Every structure is written in structure tokens, then in C-alpha cells.
Structure 1
């Protein structure tokens, strides 16, 4: 029997407590006992203090101060030097959960190393902890939402798969200890408008709730075993999402079996009183939150919990119950008390912003960028005679970062990445050309003529965190971080028109941003179009790798690019009809899952391996992929299900599986897919799921099936079956 020594100072005494790691009592049970002992030693004031994000130390119990608020959306955020990976919307575009799991592991490894150093210098400040309020698995249901860049896209299955992989990487694989604690946010039914989030009441149908808004969170809980969930600002069916019996008690804990802690978004408990007017005071708002399952507040309303106790709005036992998951999280992290058995205590500083992590960031950036058009201009010959790069974002490190970013000691801009590739004999030049968000003040323009004279011009257009993002960060936004439309600033488009009008050279347009852009005209007048997102510190080198053919494109759109927002439902309408590939049959410029490569991959011979499928066992599917080119390619094969009633009572198509398949030049490969029975069930109007009787079609495709995909020549192979 193995014994672990953990020092537990109580009542001024330093007691060595032996924890049985193997035997009749599990380590989990021993730690639960320890958590209850710690809570029993606290005064009411101390208990309340530990339920707020900036928790003070309790010296007499040997508990150090701890601030629960840390960020790790795509790298350790807001806390000094760290590797900056692509923004999550770009990670969604990789369709690569294995890579995202590596990224999660890299982030938490750097975070743990930084935490170990911070503790030695008594840095207990905000962002210096190990409880990372990431990932964001809200559904990017409307392209006008400025924070959609933080998500993995519009599809619940893709978001849940990528999100669960991130959580597994972040938290590590020890049976008890956590390298870091991940947090799924914002639970739930939260995706803009930003200006209304503190007062908005979302009333989705039960079908939309359980089909669209909740599945990714469920996957984080049941597949990723996420340690924390963050409640959203808004109401859902009249209850604050951060104090909702339905969401926090009935669904999250009772139905899904969640055992971790729930934290409010910052100020969300205050919103119960001042924004939603559900409560008449901070004390009542705090009591509502605690009794309905909230454990930790980011904000200041929980100071009123003492008043709530005095008014009999809740009991001290309610505080004890709320504290239990919080103490367990800190014990799992090995930070409530010194714990020599925690396997993450000695991660060296050398992992922070390391070459190994930079290599992962570069691979992720390569796999995230999406080639939308290529009229025989890419890849560019490295021995090209003359080349021009233009646009303010081409030499701007800020457009690599996205939001909720950390800071790196190494950034590669798009200009650097391109210049790094060309021959020493190539004449290559750069000018700003135009301002990012406003028209040029000086009407004299030397850049345009020079750019039009080059053999190939790469023009970088798009958005940045200045005009899309969270309400207080997007300082150039007229809609508090959201967008009124998806068009680029008019002066950017006017520059592109002048650049391409009556011009014989080739123009490659690189688009930056975290959300869909109106690309209809851009695609018409450009020879090639690349969606680069916010690709992280290695984005420039990754773009160079792709433009010059050292790496093949493989990224796919994790969200539909519509023709216009005019064809979409109102931004504040949370019904899914007319939204995402599941319910859109028109108004599509580029479909979900779409992306070109330098190769031509054919899909054929889709077939079911089940003799006669009855819907009770996994569906075994097989398809043949053939690479018709002389280039190696990673093909993202996607499996879509069309069920009885498609487009009427159920989605037109539903993504149920996907794989990145490496294909050698001029070769074929048979690819197998296993679809679990639950993925075949369709959500009904009352929110329950049901396996329907009738005819089904399974399509293995390189993008979401539909008329627009047919027009674009998207490859697919189909097979039908009946239940």
C-alpha cells in the first residue's frame, strides 16, 4: 500500500496527514474528507471569502491567497511571456482534435511552470493561477457576433469534439491531479448581441436548446471531464444563466453528472439584481445563485452573502455545499496545501515559449488557414522576379493575436513569412497602401502603381481586434464589438478594386479576422483568396509555407460564409431556422467545411459495413479517397447524416464524424468511420432525442452537402439505409 504525505495545517498546527493512494479507500475519497475538514475549520466570513475569485489567504489554516481568474483561450493569456497559438476559430478550422489536445497540453505546461515561479515570488495576482476560463464552446450562430472568434464554429459536434480535446490536453491524464483546470463557457445560449448580454432573456425552443446550444457543453463534461463551467450573463427562460435551476442543477449536475465547480461570468450575479431585476438586492441575488448551483463568483455581490444568511435566504450548510467543489479543485491542482505528490510541481521554466511549442503553433497555423479560391496563381514560385506585399495588416503583429491573448517574445508577420521564402534574386517591396479602419487622409498614393507593376501582389485586408471582439476591447467598433454587417471597411474594398482593375498581374488576397467576411466581390476580382484568421505568433511563417507550396493547404471553414446578412434572421433571434449549414439552403457563398488544397481528392464507393442496420449498434462506414495529384495532402473527410424529415422537422444535414486523412501523391486509401447510435438520434420539439423510422442518407464529403457545394465542385460519396 502506497502512502502520500500531504501537509494540512489546521488550527495553527502543522499536521502530517497520510493519504491512502491505493487500498480500500481511494485518493478521491481521502481528498473529499480533507476538503470537508478544511471547510469545517472556517468561519462564516472565511467561507464567503473563498467563494469569490480573488480569494484571500487564511493564514491560521495555512491557505495561501488565490485568484481564480486566469485565461488560456489559445495560450496562457494576460500573464507575461507565453506561446500564442491560433485563435480558437482557427483551431476549429483545423478539424484536428489531436493537434488541439497537444495545444491544450502545451498551454497548461507553460501555465504550470509560470505558476511555480510566481508562487516563489509571492505573486498571487489575477491571471497568475491555474484555473483557466477556457474553452469557449458557445455556438457561432450569427456572423455579426464579435466574440465568435473565441469559439470553434457553428457546429455543436465539431465544437464539442475540439473543445473536449482541448480540455483533455489542458488538464492532463493523471487519475486525480490536474495540470490545470479548464472551464467551459459561457453556459448557455450565449452568442450576442454584446450590448444586450447583461439584460437579455433567451427563449429558445427546447429543440434548439438541446440540439444546438447544449451538446458541446455536454461533450466537455462527459468526454472531457472538464473541471469547471462558467455561467453566462444572459437569462434563459427567465432565469439568470449564472443562477439557473434548470441549467445548473437539473441539466448540468443531475442529467450530465457534473462534479466540478461553477463560476459566474464577471458581474453576472450583480446582473441578477441590476440587469435582470430578478432579485431585489445583492443579498437576494447571491442567495439565488448559490441555492441554484453557483459555487464561485467573479465579482463583488457575494460580499452580501452574510446579509443573506442573516435574512434566512440561505443557510451555512448551503455555503458548505458550494465550497466543497472549490476545495476539491484546489486539492486536485495540488495547491490548497503543499502537496509533494502532485506530478506537476517541477515543470521547468524552459518550457515557456519554447521552440517545441512554437513548432506546434506553426503547424496549427498552417492547418487553420483556408484557401477559398485559387485561379492557378498559387503556389508561388520562390524564384519569382518581382513581388509586392501591401496592406497595414501585412506587417502588424496585432492581427496575429485575436483576443484573450498572451504575449510572445517572437512574432512572424505575414510580410516576414513571405520575405523569408523568396529567392535572393527576387525584387520584393512593401507599403502600407491604406489605413486599417479609416480612409487615407493623404490622397496621394504611390503604393498602388508600384503594386500593380509586380508579377504577384499579396494584399492583406480584413478585420482586427480593434473592430470585432468583446464590448470593451474593440475600440473601433460601432456596435460594442459586434458588427452591423460582414462587409470590409469600404476604403479597403475600394483599394482592392483599384488594384485589380484592368491589371495583368496576379493578386492574392489574404483576409484576417475571426468571423465570416463578405467575400463575393473579393473572390470575383482576386486570383486567389486565403482566410488566415488570427493565426498566432507563427502566422507569418505559416502563411509563407502555404503560399509557396512548402505545405499544402488543409484548413476548412468551421462556419458558413453567407452571401449577405440581409438573408439571415435578426441578430437577437435565437431560433436556428435559417442559420448555420443545418438550416440554410441558400444565401451561402462558401459552405461549412469548405476549403481548397493544391491537390484533387476524389471520393467514391461509400458503403455501410453493417449487414442490416437497426440503429442499436455503431454504424460502420467506409469510403475510398484518391489523391489525383503529385502532392501529399491532408484531406478533411466529413460525414453528414440526412434523417427522415430533413429540412422540415430535423436539420438538412448533421455532421456526425470527420477525419484528417494523409494521402500520398497519386494514391488511394480506404477510410473507416464509426458512428455511435446516439449521433443518429434527432432532437424532437420537446427536447428529447429519438431514433426516427425511415430513410437515411450518409454523405462523406469535403464540405457540407447542398446546392452551393455542388456549384463549387465539392467531392462526395453517398450511401443510404433504412430503419
Structure 2
């Protein structure tokens, strides 16, 4: 008996050593490619283990030393739902910068904080949700209708702007290391998904083929070409097939035609919708099989618990499971989730990088560039503090943290509200008072007018917060699933401003609007001297807004959406046709056009020259625009170039953005903007060819400061 124990110990130690040697040689061998490591690991797994690793909350496989991993994490505009992190402006605000380099820097900062937080969580053995390195962002759906509460998560209504912003964000998130992913990005929601929120689990999107390829897919295709690691399939049906169960969408288009190599993850509990709401199958097992056959690799939800049973019943084969698992494991290996910290390029990142000074400064810069000056009557802005003795700050969002955050947000100990930002920068000799004035909505009591009577200027912060608009289930004050049913401000806020103006008709009133969508402000324009659209500006929003109001900085943001005069200008919300939607197809008069944004500087477009006038297919267009700042302050203009087409028809855009460039111009100076316009930016879908085609003929290039403010026109021919 006493001899058996040492022998058993010896055998156990020998087996452990052999397993360790074997695993080190194969899937634990960091010198092998992620593909080979994934193949080796998969070959060692049982069917049940394989299926478990296709779940978003993947359990451990202890016999192989595989740790559990939760795939669900968010970083739309900063690491979200995970404690301390830098909060950048909401995505729609980032789009308003028209600054792809800034977007890359923001995403790079986010991924740096994500890595630092991941390593800190690992040291605490914290493997819970929102600690991983797989981030389900960016949202590159097209903001086709301003009523959509989640439109704030997007980069606006234009396919090119969305593509360029999305690519920059993905590159910043994923890093440039040849053998490792810094973090894994995910393009969502594939595809044709933009409300209504209340119907997202059961509606069927039925776009025309031209709209599908000219509007809804270009950004996803651009991100695939940029090497995005993941794509999220949407809740809805498109052309009568659930997106997560559609082989034509996931296999034929995404993987075969576009060459996507990463993994596809379902939106959370979207597979349940296939049998409970879309009712295209009759059970959880059939839903699991349908999604697996279509190519959904990873299930956010619980339906893939039924995959082993689907194999047992012959609905799918184990080979299908193997095919699904391979890209999932490859992502984990590319992220270094099986590797020691010593081989990580980011092993020396300190937790101190989280919300560090450099990142807070970047959040401030992003907030500055995102704000849009919509109105500035008689040049009331910028304010000259030396001439102000008393300031009154009021409005329902002035002291409201939720007006900074938007949705899918992180949290910071450095959140600066609009009230705090203004008071932070005031001279001690300048008096300031504050009253909320009214609530966000409802029949609120108006008060606080008497402070306005003693002030030299009134600053009113109003609009929306994430409590009113956002995702279904999150916007607690919304009665419409986070959507809006009209485009205007809440009636009580309009009445509040009206009473303020009526009581003090000569008082300068500056309005700051917070929100995540196109807001019809025509009802308050007569009562406001200046209007600044701040979106959800992030943690440094208060400081940025204050510096813009007082002239420490100059507004340079441009609208990534069209602001319509009325909801009556729009087609039915449920209609996914692009007819009469966005600046590309809308023929009416907008309140503010796509690309609009004022500055304290004045710019003259002096000249525009192309390198030639006739181009062959495949040649890029080089355009040089000379711009003069005729004012006494430095300013930044976003030079925008749009084209029309030599063909016409309902499916042909009236015009499309083909290039833009941010350019800073010193006072009384001339500056050149050099724009490279890829020939691909002129392509449109040809249903007869079943592919994109660049129409031959004459194009006009419209150059100016918005989609409507055309300063110059150049004519080119493409042969």
C-alpha cells in the first residue's frame, strides 16, 4: 500500500509533464500561427466543449488549461460599463468632427485603456462581463431616420463618412502589430438595421437592391477590407430572412464575395427571435441549426446550448461546428488570451494610463471639434468676459451628467458638466448664478427668471439626455422604445425659453443643445441669439463648450446628418427605401443641410483645380482647393466635395459626398487643401451587372462648406 502512493504520484506527474510538453508544442506554442494553434486546440475538444466555446460566456476547459472568457464588451466612445475610463464624445459627435486622424487617436486611446484594464482585471482573477478584449463596436448602420434613438451610436447618414470614420476607429482599436490584435473590433448591426426600436426583434427590412448596395452595405464592406475582426448580425429580418440565419447575407455576401475571415457574433438573444418572433423555425434546436448553417460563429444568448442536440438529430454535422469554431479560436489566439503576459506587446501598460491626462486632453479636443455652431445672430458669440459682470446659467441639461454621456458609455471621476465648465473658466470677479429652470419634459414648473434680470447674458442648456432617447429598454423616460415620434424639442423646454425671451426681450440668450440626433430647433430660433449643438460631448464637454462660448476656441464641427423642418418631410419610419431620405435623396428644403456648421472665422474659396479634366476608370482625382481666412481669428474649415451623376433615376443619389478635408487657416491667410478622390467613390450598384459600376460621362464636383453651400463647381469626364 505504501509503495502504491509514490507510484501513483509519479505516474500523475509524468502525465502532467507530458500534457504540458504536448500543449506547449501545439496550441500553447506562441511561435505557431493563430490558425495552426486553433486547429490543434479544436482537435483536442469534445463536441460539447466545442459548442460551449461558441457561447459569448464561454466556460473553461480545465483539462486543457483553457480559461473561461466572456466575449461581451463595449467601447463605443470609451471603455463602457466597466468603471473608470475616459469618456469621449458620443459617436455622432465624433462624426461631426470630420476628422479621421482624431478618430484614430481616440480609438487608440480607448484600446490602450482597454488593455490596461484587462491586465488589471486578470491580476484580480476577474473574468466577468466587460473585462475582455473583444469589443462590439463600431455601429456603422446608416442614420437614415432622425427618429431612431440609437442613431447617436452611428457616424451619421452618409455612407462615405461612415466608412472613413469606421475604418479609422477600427484601426485605432485593433492596432498595427503584425502578429497580435490590441483589441478586436466588431462592425454592427449587419444589416439594414435602424429602427424602429420597439420593433427591432421582429421587423422585416425590405430595401431595394440599389439602396442595399449604395447605402446600407458600403461601410460594412469598407471595414471588412480594413481587416475588422468581427461582424455582428442584427435582430431583424432582411428580405424575409433573419440576419443571423441568412446564408445569402453571411455566407454568400460577407464571407464569399467580400472575403471576410473573422467571426460573426449574433446580437444578444437574436437567435431566440428566430423562433419566438420571426417564427421561421419551430424550436430552439432548429434556431441553433439555422444560425449554424448560415455561419453565425458566436452566440450572444443561450441558443447554442442546443447545438450538440442539433448534431445528434442530424440537423447539422460536427464538421459545421468545427468550421464555426475556427475563426472564434483564431480571434482568441490573435488577442494573446492563451499566452503569458511576457509576450504581449502591451505588457508594460500601467493602470495609470486609464483616464490619464493625455487622454483627458484628447477628450477635450474631440469635444471642441464635435460642437456645431448653428446660429450666431449679430455675432453675439464669442462672449467677451471682460465686458460681463453677471451671467445666468439655466436649463434642464446644464448640470446634468447624463447630458454628457450618451449611451454605451463609461464613467470618469473627471466629468465636467456645462455648468461646471462655464464656472471653471470665469474670473473670480464675474458673478454667476444657476437655476434648473425646467425639467427635461412634462408639465414642469418654470422658475428662476429673476436671476436672468440681473445678468448680462443668459446661457440656456437644453435638449435631450440618454434618459429620453437611446436603445429600447435603456431610455427610461421614453414611451417609444427610445425613439422619438417628432423632431422638435420637448414642449415645456420651448415654453420655458419663450417665457424667458418674453420677459427679457433685449437680453442676449445663448442656447446649448444636447442630444444625439437631428433636432428641429425652428421653434426656439426666434428666442435665441446663438445656438450651439453639443451632442453628448463626453467628460470634457463642459470645459470645451465654455471655451467655445468665450472664444478660447473656434467651432469647427459639421452636421453628419440633415436637420429637417418637420417630421412631415420624412417617409414612414418603417419604410427602408431611401427615397426622400438623407441629403442624397431628399429634394425638399432642410432646416440645416448635411455638412453645415458656422465658424467665428470667415472663409473665401479662392480657387479649385483638378490635375486633369478627363479621367479613365481606375485613375484617382487630385483636387486642390485654395481657401482664404478673411477674419481676424484662426479658424478651421471642412472643405467638402460632392458629385452628381451622368445617369438619373429614383435609385440614383442627387449628390454624394466624395471627399472632405479639415484645414486650419490663420487670420488673413491663404491655405491649400489637397484632396485625393478615389475613383471608387463614384461607383453605384448596377443590378444588371450584379456589381458596382462607374458610369461613364460628365460629373460635376460641388465644392463648399456643406451639401448645399456650393462655392465652386468643377466639371470632369470619366471614360
- Find the counterpart in structure 2 of residue 4 from structure 1: none
Deviations 1:413-456 (A, max 9, x none): 10111112222222211111111222225x6x3x1232244211
CA distance 1:324–1:79, shift in 2 (3 Å)? same
**Residues 71, 132 of structure 1: 8 Å contact kept:** yes
Which residue is equivalent to 1:174?
A: 177
Match in the other structure for 2:343: 341
Measure how far apart 1:681 and its partner are: 1.7
SS in 2 for 1:394: coil
SS of the aligned residue for 1:546 comes to helix
Moved more, 65-74 or 604-613: 604-613
Residue 457 of structure 1: SS of its match in structure 2? strand
Once the two structures are TM-superposed, the CA of residue 572 in structure 1 deviates from its matched residue by 0.3
Shift of 1:604: 3.0
Does the CA contact (< 8 Å) of 2:134 and 2:185 recur in 1?
yes
Q: Could you tell me whether the CA contact under 8 Å between 2:55 and 2:298 is conserved in 1?
A: yes
Change (3 A) 1:45 1:16: closer
2:131: which partner in 1?
128
After superposition, residues 75-86 of structure 1 pair within 5 angstroms as 75-86=78-89
Aligned partner of 1:432 in structure 2 is 436
- 1:404-423 paired onto structure 2 within 5 Å: 404-423=408-427
Name the counterpart of 1:318.
320
Matches within 5 A, 1:505-654: 505-610=507-612, 612-645=614-647, 648-654=650-656
Q: Which moved more, 1:313-322 or 1:449-458?
A: 449-458
Q: 1:717 aligns with which of 688, 694, 712?
A: 712
Structure 2 residue runs of 5 or longer lacking an equivalent are: 1-15
Matched residue of 1:639: which SS?
A: strand
Deviates more, 1:615-624 or 1:70-79: 615-624
Query: 1:336 & 1:561 partners in 2: Cα distance?
Result: 49
Separation (CA, whole Å) in 1 of partners of 2:259 and 2:100: 24
- Pick aligned residue for 1:286 from 264, 285, 288: 288
SS of residue paired to 1:562: coil
Of 693-702 and 37-46, more deviation after overlay is shown by 693-702
User: Structure 1 residues 608 and 301, CA, compared in 2 at 3 Å: closer, same or farther?
Assistant: same
8 Å CA contact 2:137, 2:187 repeated in 1 = yes
Counterpart of 1:6 in structure 2 is none
In structure 2, the CA distance between the partners of 1:212 and 1:99, relative to structure 1 (3 Å rule), is same
How do 1:153-168 residues align onto structure 2 when only pairs under 5 Å count? 153-168=156-171
Cross-structure match for 2:271? 269
Deviation for aligned residue 1:645? 3.3
Task: Return 696-705 or 678-687, whichever deviates more.
Answer: 678-687
* Cα distance in 2 for residues equivalent to 1:700 and 1:285: 51
Distance 1:696 1:452 in 2: 56
Deviation, 1:522, is 1.8
User: Which of 194, 197, 214 is the aligned partner of 1:191?
Assistant: 194
Secondary structure at 2:398 match in 1: helix
Unaligned runs of 5+ residues in structure 1 are: 1-8, 21-25, 706-713
1:332-354 CA-partner distances (Å, limit 9, x unpaired): 00003436322123311110111
- Aligned residue for 1:3? none
Give the 3-state SS of the residue equivalent to 1:190 in structure 2.
Answer: coil
Whole-angstrom distance in 2 between the partners of 1:11 and 1:685: 59
Superposition TM-score, scaled by structure 2 size: 0.95
Question: 1:378: Cα distance to partner?
Answer: 0.4
Structure 1's 657 and 569: CA in aligned 2 closer, same or farther, altered over 3 A? same
For 1:282 and 1:29, locate their aligned partners in 2 and report how far apart those are by CA, in whole Å. 38
Q: Would the aligned equivalents of 1:115 and 1:128 in 2 still touch at CA under 8 Å?
A: yes
Secondary structure of 1:110's partner? helix
1:17 positional shift: 4.0
Write the distance in 1 (CA, Å) between the matches of 2:264 and 2:140: 15
Contact 1:290 1:319 in 2 (8 A): yes
Contact 1:71 1:133 (8 Å CA) reproduced: yes
1:281 Cα offset (Å): 1.1
2:372 to 348, 370, 373: 370
Note closer, same or farther for the CA distance 1:125–1:11 as it changes in structure 2 (3 Å cut): farther
Cα shift at 1:646: 5.2
TM-superposed CA distance for 1:18, in Å, is: 6.3
The verdict on how the C-alpha distance between 1:668 and 1:193 changes in structure 2, with shifts beyond 3 A counting, is same
Is this contact kept in 2: 1:11–1:61, CA < 8 A?
no
Cα gap change, 1:279 to 1:29, in 2 (>3 Å): farther
Note closer, same or farther for the CA distance 1:477–1:261 as it changes in structure 2 (3 Å cut): same
Task: State the shift of 1:13 in Å.
Answer: 2.8
TM alignment of 1:479-490, pairs within 5 A: 479-490=480-491
TM-score (normalizing by structure 1): 0.94
Partner of residue 500, structure 1: 501
